[in-house]
Structure 1
Amino acid sequence: MFHIIQADFYRLFRSKGFWITEILFITTLLLGVFYGVIGNVGVHTDTKALEKLGDNGGWTGFEAITKTSDNFSNTIIFTIILVVLLIGIDLTQKLYKNSITSGISRTEFYLSKFFVLASLIILQLILTYSSFIPATLINGMGTAPKHFLSNFLITIGVQFICTLAWVSLISFVLYATNSIIAAIFTYFVGASLLGLPTAFYPDIDWLKYLNMQFYFDMVSKQDMVFKTITIALLITLLFAFSGLQVFKRKDL
């Protein structure tokens, strides 16, 4: 399994698609640092959070932290592109045959992909919040929010789990359909549809967290943290397990 993980990282880092994706991602972050605007290519379901991103002028270091957090959908969509590069190409071109026929079990193959994807999520979150460095160098550090360090660590942890939930869902769609288009479609349409239950059943508080979005400002409310983590973990477990079952039944 270690060799599969190693090979996946090697293939990704030598892929033009990977570097183009990361350059575009960094560019959207730097737009905020230099001009106080966000190059938003994702689906943002929280209009209040989106309104706060429209400031003119560059961000300070701490503003970069809070405002890139409010634009969490950007991190998700660029991570999903990496999911497509890692799994989608393997499935559409049936490259997984080589590993399976060489003696690697389907479970080992699946888990190795899951580990690589989890590592890529960490990479994307590091890139997201590394905007603090150029923002501080250019516009100063600014004033830290109250309880910044603990709230920041919680935010990163919850956003990791939320991104993992989206990655599990998109991976399941890829394993089930072998379609890259279906996977991308699932995110853009799914992110919008997951907000609909709240409109029909506003009194059911748990439905507000189905979109698996989490922002820095939400940390102060413990019930939001708990409910977001619970929903995201359940979705991760459901689709990670379902994806494995689908892959086990897939023809070589």
Structure 2
Amino acid sequence: MINQLRADFYRQTHTLGHYLLLILVILFSIVVVYSKQVGGVMVSAPVDVLERLSTVPWTLLSGIRGLTISSSVLMYAFISIFVMVIGYEFSQQTYKNTLVSGISRSGFIIAKFVTMLLDIFMQIVIFFLAGILTGMALGRSVGTSWANLFGTTLLTALIVVFFIGVVFSMAIVILMLTGSLIGSAVFIIIFPLLVSIISMISKWDWLKFVDFFGISVKISLKQLSVSQFQPYIWFSVAILIICFGLSLILIRRKEL
């Protein structure tokens, strides 16, 4: 599994798309912080926070909150990570070459998932750091202590990565079931939109548990306490475990 991780990271560091994505993420961060225009895909957009961010002078902390609200847009860009790490191999069935080399099927899935999470974490951290540096270049104040700023940034980055990982775990199941890269990519695109639309039509309260980016924003804004956050995280962990288990079952049934 370690060798698979090394191979995946080596391949990505020598892929032009990896660096183009990084440039896109940095540019998006700069545009959001510079223009003070935020927005994303979520069930319950914090309207009061959006109004406040649009009227008050921005600090570095405001920039982090604005970037958190806008982070849902990045999931569409991160489809490229999904494609580079696992999607292309399954759509072309070249994963068979890796499996016959000696790695276990469970090790293969774990390595791919860990690689995706690490890639996304790196991109998200750079996304927030670019926003902080942009705010500093514009002469904005910190808005809090530096310790709190970096603590909020790290916590938010971890939460955003975790929830994107949950969505990607569902996409992996679809990829293995259908063998279609397009189908799994379309799922990643429509999932947050579908949750938002169904929520507006049905008013089902339970959909708040799959409003992953809305949860991230509330955590960043400290609108959820630790006890209030626990049901959301356990629901997401349950989805992750189920999808991971299904992925292991499906790959073990695939013929080489």
Q: Which TM-score tier does this pair reach, normalised by the shorter chain?
A: 0.7 to 0.9
User: What residue number does 1:26 align with?
Assistant: 26
- Cα 1:56–1:12 shift into 2, 3 Å: farther
Letter of the 1:165 counterpart: V
Q: Which has the higher contact order (CA 8 A, sep 6+)?
A: 2
Which residue, 202, 223, 246 being the options, matches 1:200?
202
User: What residue number does 1:247 align with?
Assistant: 251
Query: Which secondary structure does the structure 2 equivalent of 1:121 belong to?
Result: helix
CA contact (8 A) 1:155 1:219 kept: no
The C-alpha deviation readout for 1:155-209, integer Å capped at 9, x for no partner, is 333323212211211222222222222122112222122242575354x4x4312
CA contact (8 A) 2:125 2:157 kept: no
- Structure 1 distance, partners of 2:52, 2:170, is 28
TM-score by structure 1 length? 0.84
How many Å apart are 1:128 and its aligned residue?
2.2
CA contact (8 A) 2:121 2:157 kept: no
User: What residue number does 1:167 align with?
Assistant: 168
The C-alpha deviation readout for 1:69-124, integer Å capped at 9, x for no partner, is 11120233333321122111111222212211112111111111111112113212
TM-score by structure 2 length? 0.83
Letter of the 2:72 counterpart: S
CA contact (8 A) 1:61 1:136 kept: yes
- Cα 1:94–1:48 shift into 2, 3 Å: same
User: What residue number does 1:136 align with?
Assistant: 136
Percent of counterpart pairs with the same letter? 21
How many Å apart are 1:17 and its aligned residue?
1.8
Query: Which secondary structure does the structure 2 equivalent of 1:29 belong to?
Result: helix
Higher helix share: 2
- Cα 1:57–1:90 shift into 2, 3 Å: farther
Query: Which secondary structure does the structure 2 equivalent of 1:220 belong to?
Result: coil
Query: Which secondary structure does the structure 2 equivalent of 1:30 belong to?
Result: helix
User: What residue number does 2:224 align with?
Assistant: 221
> Can you give the 5+ residue segments of structure 1 that lack an aligned partner in the other structure?
none
User: What residue number does 1:48 align with?
Assistant: 46
User: What residue number does 1:115 align with?
Assistant: 114
Task: Provide the aligned C-alpha RMSD in A.
Answer: 2.9
Letter of the 1:226 counterpart: Q
- Cα 1:7–1:210 shift into 2, 3 Å: same
Q: How many pairs were matched up?
A: 248
- Structure 1 distance, partners of 2:104, 2:210, is 33
